[in-house]
Amino acid sequence: MKKIIKALLAVLVLFTAVTFVRYRTLSPCGMLKKEWVEDARKGVESASERAREAAKEVGGRTERIADDVGDAVEESAKEVAEAVAETLADEKSFGECMAELWKLKTGG
Kindly state the average pLDDT of the residues 53-64: 72
Radius of gyration of the chain measured on its C-alpha atoms: 23
Residue range 20-45, pLDDT digits in tens: 655 555 677 888 888 888 888 888 88
- Number of H helices and E strands in the chain, helices first, is 4, 0
What angle do the packed helices 94-106 and 28-58 form, to 10 degrees? 50
87 CA to centre of own chain = 12
- Domain residue extents for the chain: 28-106
| CA pair distance 68, 89, nearest whole angstrom | 32
For position 50, what pLDDT does the model report?
80
Kindly state the average pLDDT of the residues 78-107: 83
| CA pair distance 101, 32, nearest whole angstrom | 6
For position 87, what pLDDT does the model report?
86
* pTM exceeds 0.85 for this model: no
| CA pair distance 50, 96, nearest whole angstrom | 35
For position 94, what pLDDT does the model report?
81
Residue range 78-87, pLDDT digits in tens: 788 888 888 8
Instruction: Give yes or no for residue 67 having a pLDDT over 80.
Output: no
